[in-house]
Structure 1
Amino acid sequence: MNKTQLTSSISEETNVSKVQVKKILESMLKTIVLSLKNGKNVQIAGFGTFKVHNRAARIGRNPQTGEKINIAATKVPTFISGKAFRIAIK
Protein backbone atom coordinates (compact mmCIF):
# COMPACT_ATOMS: atom_id res chain seq x y z
CA MET A 1 0.00 0.00 0.00
CA ASN A 2 1.40 3.40 -0.94
CA LYS A 3 0.62 6.83 0.56
CA THR A 4 -2.20 7.54 -1.92
CA GLN A 5 -3.89 4.23 -1.16
CA LEU A 6 -3.46 4.78 2.57
CA THR A 7 -4.98 8.25 2.27
CA SER A 8 -7.96 6.87 0.35
CA SER A 9 -8.50 4.07 2.87
CA ILE A 10 -8.41 6.44 5.86
CA SER A 11 -10.70 8.88 4.06
CA GLU A 12 -13.29 6.19 3.38
CA GLU A 13 -13.15 4.85 6.94
CA THR A 14 -13.40 8.24 8.66
CA ASN A 15 -15.56 10.20 6.20
CA VAL A 16 -12.92 12.94 6.08
CA SER A 17 -11.85 14.39 2.74
CA LYS A 18 -8.76 12.97 1.06
CA VAL A 19 -7.16 16.43 1.06
CA GLN A 20 -7.52 16.76 4.83
CA VAL A 21 -6.31 13.19 5.45
CA LYS A 22 -3.27 13.83 3.22
CA LYS A 23 -2.39 17.00 5.19
CA ILE A 24 -2.74 15.15 8.51
CA LEU A 25 -0.68 12.18 7.31
CA GLU A 26 2.10 14.40 5.95
CA SER A 27 2.10 16.45 9.16
CA MET A 28 2.36 13.27 11.24
CA LEU A 29 5.27 11.95 9.19
CA LYS A 30 7.04 15.32 9.30
CA THR A 31 6.63 15.44 13.09
CA ILE A 32 8.08 11.93 13.47
CA VAL A 33 11.08 12.82 11.30
CA LEU A 34 11.73 16.08 13.17
CA SER A 35 11.49 14.34 16.55
CA LEU A 36 13.96 11.66 15.49
CA LYS A 37 16.27 14.30 14.04
CA ASN A 38 16.22 16.08 17.43
CA GLY A 39 17.18 12.87 19.23
CA LYS A 40 13.73 12.02 20.59
CA ASN A 41 12.05 8.63 20.21
CA VAL A 42 8.45 8.49 19.00
CA GLN A 43 6.32 5.90 20.78
CA ILE A 44 2.79 5.16 19.61
CA ALA A 45 1.05 2.92 22.16
CA GLY A 46 -0.15 -0.33 20.62
CA PHE A 47 1.73 0.31 17.39
CA GLY A 48 5.45 0.70 18.04
CA THR A 49 8.46 2.91 18.61
CA PHE A 50 10.56 4.85 16.13
CA LYS A 51 14.18 5.29 17.23
CA VAL A 52 17.53 6.40 15.83
CA HIS A 53 20.54 4.13 16.26
CA ASN A 54 24.10 5.28 15.77
CA ARG A 55 26.08 3.02 13.47
CA ALA A 56 29.79 3.17 14.24
CA ALA A 57 32.45 3.87 11.62
CA ARG A 58 34.00 0.74 10.21
CA ILE A 59 36.27 -0.62 7.51
CA GLY A 60 34.53 -2.21 4.54
CA ARG A 61 35.67 -3.81 1.34
CA ASN A 62 34.96 -2.93 -2.27
CA PRO A 63 33.52 -6.20 -3.66
CA GLN A 64 34.87 -5.55 -7.16
CA THR A 65 38.45 -4.71 -6.28
CA GLY A 66 38.84 -6.10 -2.76
CA GLU A 67 40.24 -2.71 -1.70
CA LYS A 68 39.57 -1.69 1.91
CA ILE A 69 37.47 1.45 2.34
CA ASN A 70 36.48 3.51 5.36
CA ILE A 71 32.75 3.67 6.00
CA ALA A 72 31.74 6.72 8.03
CA ALA A 73 29.59 6.60 11.16
CA THR A 74 25.93 7.30 10.50
CA LYS A 75 22.51 7.49 12.11
CA VAL A 76 19.96 4.86 11.11
CA PRO A 77 16.20 5.12 11.77
CA THR A 78 14.61 1.97 13.17
CA PHE A 79 11.11 0.82 14.07
CA ILE A 80 10.30 -1.62 16.84
CA SER A 81 6.77 -2.95 16.60
CA GLY A 82 4.57 -3.01 19.67
CA LYS A 83 3.07 -6.17 21.11
CA ALA A 84 -0.50 -5.35 20.04
CA PHE A 85 0.71 -4.69 16.48
CA ARG A 86 2.61 -7.98 16.33
CA ILE A 87 -0.42 -9.89 17.61
CA ALA A 88 -2.77 -8.15 15.16
CA ILE A 89 -0.83 -9.25 12.08
CA LYS A 90 -0.52 -12.93 13.02
Structure 2
Amino acid sequence: MTKQDVINQVSEKTGVDPLLTRSVIESFFTVVKESLVEGEPIYIRTFGSFILKQRAQKTARNISQNTAVTIPTQIIPSFKPGSEFTNQVRAQPMPAKIKK
Protein backbone atom coordinates (compact mmCIF):
# COMPACT_ATOMS: atom_id res chain seq x y z
CA MET A 1 0.00 0.00 0.00
CA THR A 2 1.37 3.39 -0.95
CA LYS A 3 0.84 6.78 0.66
CA GLN A 4 -1.63 7.65 -2.10
CA ASP A 5 -3.63 4.49 -1.31
CA VAL A 6 -3.78 5.53 2.35
CA ILE A 7 -4.92 9.02 1.39
CA ASN A 8 -7.65 7.61 -0.86
CA GLN A 9 -8.95 5.21 1.79
CA VAL A 10 -8.96 7.82 4.56
CA SER A 11 -10.71 10.25 2.23
CA GLU A 12 -13.39 7.68 1.36
CA LYS A 13 -13.96 6.61 4.99
CA THR A 14 -14.17 10.15 6.36
CA GLY A 15 -15.84 11.87 3.42
CA VAL A 16 -13.16 14.57 3.50
CA ASP A 17 -11.69 16.03 0.32
CA PRO A 18 -8.56 14.09 -0.82
CA LEU A 19 -6.47 17.29 -0.94
CA LEU A 20 -7.32 18.08 2.68
CA THR A 21 -6.65 14.47 3.64
CA ARG A 22 -3.24 14.63 1.95
CA SER A 23 -2.44 17.82 3.85
CA VAL A 24 -3.41 16.26 7.20
CA ILE A 25 -1.39 13.08 6.59
CA GLU A 26 1.65 15.05 5.39
CA SER A 27 1.37 17.28 8.48
CA PHE A 28 1.26 14.20 10.71
CA PHE A 29 4.45 12.85 9.10
CA THR A 30 6.13 16.23 9.54
CA VAL A 31 5.20 16.38 13.24
CA VAL A 32 6.54 12.84 13.80
CA LYS A 33 9.83 13.64 12.04
CA GLU A 34 10.33 16.96 13.84
CA SER A 35 9.54 15.46 17.24
CA LEU A 36 11.97 12.57 16.78
CA VAL A 37 14.71 14.90 15.53
CA GLU A 38 14.26 16.87 18.78
CA GLY A 39 14.47 13.61 20.77
CA GLU A 40 10.79 13.64 21.77
CA PRO A 41 9.02 10.25 21.39
CA ILE A 42 5.38 10.09 20.27
CA TYR A 43 2.96 7.77 22.07
CA ILE A 44 -0.39 7.01 20.41
CA ARG A 45 -2.58 4.97 22.74
CA THR A 46 -3.80 1.62 21.31
CA PHE A 47 -1.69 2.13 18.16
CA GLY A 48 1.99 2.38 19.10
CA SER A 49 5.00 4.57 19.75
CA PHE A 50 7.48 6.34 17.53
CA ILE A 51 10.74 6.25 19.49
CA LEU A 52 14.49 6.59 19.05
CA LYS A 53 16.76 3.59 19.54
CA GLN A 54 20.50 3.57 19.94
CA ARG A 55 22.53 0.98 18.08
CA ALA A 56 25.75 0.07 19.84
CA GLN A 57 29.14 0.45 18.23
CA LYS A 58 30.21 -2.71 16.44
CA THR A 59 33.08 -4.11 14.47
CA ALA A 60 32.49 -5.27 10.91
CA ARG A 61 34.83 -6.74 8.33
CA ASN A 62 35.70 -5.41 4.89
CA ILE A 63 36.12 -8.73 3.12
CA SER A 64 37.74 -7.33 -0.02
CA GLN A 65 40.64 -5.84 1.99
CA ASN A 66 40.41 -8.24 4.95
CA THR A 67 40.38 -5.39 7.46
CA ALA A 68 38.25 -4.61 10.50
CA VAL A 69 35.98 -1.58 10.28
CA THR A 70 34.41 0.08 13.31
CA ILE A 71 30.81 1.17 12.84
CA PRO A 72 30.05 3.99 15.31
CA THR A 73 27.05 4.22 17.63
CA GLN A 74 23.94 5.28 15.72
CA ILE A 75 20.55 6.64 16.74
CA ILE A 76 17.69 5.39 14.56
CA PRO A 77 13.94 6.04 14.51
CA SER A 78 11.75 3.07 15.38
CA PHE A 79 8.08 2.16 15.65
CA LYS A 80 6.89 -0.06 18.49
CA PRO A 81 3.31 -1.27 17.99
CA GLY A 82 0.94 -1.15 20.96
CA SER A 83 -0.31 -4.37 22.53
CA GLU A 84 -3.87 -3.88 21.27
CA PHE A 85 -2.62 -3.36 17.72
CA THR A 86 -0.28 -6.36 17.98
CA ASN A 87 -3.04 -8.62 19.30
CA GLN A 88 -5.38 -7.51 16.52
CA VAL A 89 -2.78 -8.42 13.88
CA ARG A 90 -1.97 -11.74 15.56
CA ALA A 91 -5.64 -12.73 15.58
CA GLN A 92 -5.75 -12.64 11.78
CA PRO A 93 -4.74 -15.69 9.72
CA MET A 94 -1.50 -15.33 7.76
CA PRO A 95 -2.25 -14.32 4.16
CA ALA A 96 -1.18 -16.87 1.53
CA LYS A 97 1.07 -14.30 -0.14
CA ILE A 98 2.46 -11.26 1.63
CA LYS A 99 2.78 -8.27 -0.71
CA LYS A 100 6.13 -6.51 -0.85
TM-score over 0.5 for the alignment? yes
% identical equivalent positions = 27
Question: CA shift at 1:83, angstroms?
Answer: 1.1
What is the Cα-based RMSD across aligned positions, in Å? 1.2
Deviates more, 1:62-71 or 1:2-11: 62-71
Q: Which residue does 2:96 correspond to in 1?
A: none
**Aligned pairs (5 A) from 1:36-47:** 36-47=36-47
1:7-18 alignment, distance < 5 Å: 7-18=7-18
1:63 positional shift: 3.5
Q: CA deviation at 1:31?
A: 0.3
Displacement after TM superposition at 1:18 (Å)? 0.8
CA shift digits 1:24-70 (9 cap, x unpaired): 00100110111111111100000001110122332211243332112
Give the alignment's TM-score, normalised by structure 2: 0.83
SS in 1 for 2:34: helix
**Structure 1 residue identity aligned to 2:10:** I
Partner SS for 1:84: helix
Aligned equivalents of 1:45 and 1:63: distance in 2?
45
Aligned length: 90
Task: Identify the residue that residue 82 of structure 1 maps to in structure 2.
Answer: 82
Q: Partner letter of residue 85 of structure 1?
A: F
